[in-house]
Chains A and B, each alone.
Chain A
Amino acid sequence: EVDLTQSPATLSLSPGERATLSCRASQNVNSYLAWYQQRPGQAPRLLIHDVSSRATGIPARFSGSGSGTDFTLTISSLEPEDAAFYYCQQRSKWPRTFGQGTRLEIK
């Protein structure tokens, strides 16, 4: 099973700042990595798939990068509505697994 480790556990930033979230895989997942956003009380929603492709309707301030075992989600200029948990997920190996999440707080 592929373990995904996300860091930091919590990130606290102000509106307009840049957020950088990390996801590290225990083995090579190639480009089969996605990011999900989960706002309080809501279901997760797909943000980024295949490392760097934004899902439909996702603002351009969200971007993804990386390859192999190290991946990054960047939010270029934070908005208040970006306060949420963010999870990475891989589909390179079965079973598909998620990271434990990063909580993003907006000051």
Chain B
Amino acid sequence: QVQLQESGPGLVKPSETLSLTCTVSGDSMRNYYWTWTRQSPGTGLEFLGYISYSGRANYMPSLKRRATISVDTSKNQFSLKLYYVTAADTAVYYCGASIEARWLDFWGQGMVVTVSS
């Protein structure tokens, strides 16, 4: 089955850009949509968005165009960039795989990202 692993900086300064990468193994990237979800004590679980193998993305409206999800099939990776971060973006970030963009079928182990100066 598909396996996912998040990577990136665990500490980001306010107003800067959070950049995370998810490396996929165990199955073809063609078979899934690729997702980002985050979890914080204050807001709980939030589905941030997803991207198809072909690169079509959908985002949670409350991100207000601060996010970009991209896919690099040559590297078996997809990425999240979140711009102009604040303390409210501090969370555990999970990458995931979704069959036909329905449910969150598979999850990475999660990565803690703290926004602080």
Residues in A whose Cβ lies below 8 Å from that of B103: 34, 46, 49, 55, 89, 91
| A35: min CB distance to chain B, Å | 10
Q: Are B105 and A55 in contact (CB under 8 A)?
A: yes
- A71: interface (CB < 8 Å): no
Residues of A in contact (CB 8 Å), total 20
Residues of B in contact (CB 8 Å), total 17
Q: Are A101 and B60 in contact (CB under 8 A)?
A: no
Residues in B whose Cβ lies below 8 Å from that of A44: 45, 94, 104, 107
B44-60 vs A, Cβ < 8 Å mask (1 yes, 0 no): 11110000000000101
Known: A87-B45, A97-B47. A49 touches B109 (CB 8 A): no
Residues in A whose Cβ lies below 8 Å from that of B46: 98
* In the complex, the 7 A-B pairs of residues with the closest C-beta atoms, listed nearest first: A43-B107, A98-B45, A96-B47, A95-B60, A49-B103, A34-B103, A43-B110
| B12: min CB distance to chain A, Å | 21
Q: Of residues 20 to 78 in A, which have CB atoms within 8 Å of B's CB atoms?
A: 34, 36, 42-46, 49, 55
For the complex, give the distance between the alpha carbons of A62 and B47 in Å.
24
For the complex, give the distance between the alpha carbons of A89 and B107 in Å.
15
| A74: min CB distance to chain B, Å | 19
Number of A-B contacts (CB under 8 A): 45
- B117: interface (CB < 8 Å): no
Q: Are A95 and B47 in contact (CB under 8 A)?
A: yes
B62-95 vs A, Cβ < 8 Å mask (1 yes, 0 no): 1000000000000000000000000000000010
A78-104 vs B, Cβ < 8 Å mask (1 yes, 0 no): 000000000101010011111111000
Residues in A whose Cβ lies below 8 Å from that of B47: 89, 95-98
For the complex, give the distance between the alpha carbons of A45 and B102 in Å.
14
Choice from A36, A91, A95, A100 contacting B102 with Cβ under 8 Å: A91
Known pairs A89-B103, A91-B102; list 14 more (Cβ under 8 Å).
Answer: A34-B104, A36-B104, A43-B94, A46-B103, A46-B105, A94-B58, A94-B61, A95-B60, A95-B61, A98-B45, A98-B47, A99-B44, A100-B44, A101-B44
29 CB-based A-B contacts, threshold 8 Å: A34-B104, A43-B94, A43-B108, A43-B109, A43-B110, A44-B107, A46-B103, A46-B104, A46-B105, A49-B102, A49-B103, A55-B103, A87-B44, A87-B45, A89-B45, A89-B47, A89-B104, A91-B103, A94-B61, A95-B60, A95-B61, A96-B47, A97-B47, A98-B44, A98-B45, A98-B46, A100-B44, A101-B44, A101-B45
